[in-house]
Amino acid sequence: MLGDAVSARAEFDQLSAGARLQPDVLECEWGLQAAANAWAEAFVVAERLVAVSPERAFGWIHRAFALRRMPGGGLDRAWAALRPAHDRFPKDFLIPFNLACYAAQLGRLDEAWEWLEKARAHGPAESVLRMVLADEDLRPLWPRLQESAGG
């Protein structure tokens, strides 16, 4: 949390095996792996988090995020891993937001727009809009977003 991944890793390595299976610890470990661009390792951590705490959306979202970036992964696999999470967490705006990103990058723009509308319906409107305009994955939807806003 303080930006010192080396010290964080050293402290993490001192935890017992049981402590390493705690959901909060797994979330921190995922962050360490992501910061190191160790996407295959981040995927394994997120898989473990989904297994031990399937009620946490974090694991589902971050498993797909890592899967997209890891060797042998990709957008299609990330999409397939995250799509069931929407049924489990229908009011979580980050899941449809990420599905919109994946669909947009796969060239399925109408579907991406539908997912974006779901994200906007369940998330804080201003925050979601800022996220959309800051996410290059959603660039193909920016003109449509401007049209829908009337300008």
Report the C-alpha gap between 46 and 74 in whole angstroms: 16
**Predicted pLDDT at 5:** 66
114 and 61 in one domain?
no
**Predicted pLDDT at 82:** 98
112 and 57 in one domain?
no
97-129 pLDDT, tens digit per residue, is 999 999 999 999 999 999 999 999 999 988 999
Domain count for the chain: 2
DSSP 108: -
- Looking at residue 62, its amino acid is H
pTM: 0.89
60 and 32 in one domain?
yes
Q: Which domain holds residue 122?
A: 90-151
- Asked if residue 141 lies in contact with residue 109, where contact means CB atoms within 8 angstroms, the answer is yes
